[in-house]
Chain A
Amino acid sequence: DSGVTQTPKHLITATGQRVTLRCSPRSGDLSVYWYQQSLDQGLQFLIQYYNGEERAKGNILERFSAQQFPDLHSELNLSSLELGDSALYFCASSVGYGRDEQFFGPGTRLTVL
C-alpha cells in the first residue's frame, strides 16, 4: 500500500458526459501527479500540482482539467468524454518535486460507452 488513495476504483459512463476522479496523496506529500494508462498510448503524464499550484503540464487534453485543494487532495475533471478516453488514470504523489520519488495510487478505471 503506497498511501495514495484514489476514488472511485471503477467508473462507467457514456460519451459526452463529465466525470471527476479524486486523489488523496500520502500524508506529508505536497506534489500530486496525474497519469493516463491506455493500451495504445501506454502511460502518459498529464499534469502536476505542487502545494495547490499547477507546476507542470504533460499531454493533457483541453477537455481535461485538474486542481489541488488546500487539504492537498486533487481532482481530475474529464469532460465531453469520448470512447478513446477509456483508460486507467493514476495519481501519484511526492514530497516535493523534481527528483523526489513518486508513489502511485491503485488507479481509477474509466470506461466510456
Chain B
Amino acid sequence: NAGVMQNPRHLVRRRGQEARLRCSPMKGHSHVYWYRQLPEEGLKFMVYLQKENIIDESGMPKERFSAEFPKEGPSILRIQQVVRGDSAAYFCASSFGTGYEQYFGPGTRLTVT
C-alpha cells in the first residue's frame, strides 16, 4: 500500500508567484487534512477536506490561501502571491473517516526568496 504522497518535496518560489502543493491520500481514504509547520514553531491545522467539500478551513489564512479536493485527482493547497512568511513545511494527512487515525505524507518544504 502506498502511503500518503506529497509533491513536490521541495518548492522554491519568488515573492509574488503562486505555489501549488499536491497531496494524494492513501488508498481508500477520502478525508484530507493540511497542516503547516513554520520555522522553529509547532504544527498548526489549516484545513480539512472531503471529496469535493471543505469541511473546516478555520486554520487557513483569510487571503491568498485556498484548498480543494476534487472528485478525481489529488488535493491541492494553493498559495497565491507568496511572501517570505509563507516559507514553511506543509504536511498533508489522510484518514478513512472523521475521527480515524491520520496518516501523514513526507511534507512539502516551501521556500520563498
Decide if A and B are genuine partners: no
Chain A residues within 8 Å of B, Cβ to Cβ: none
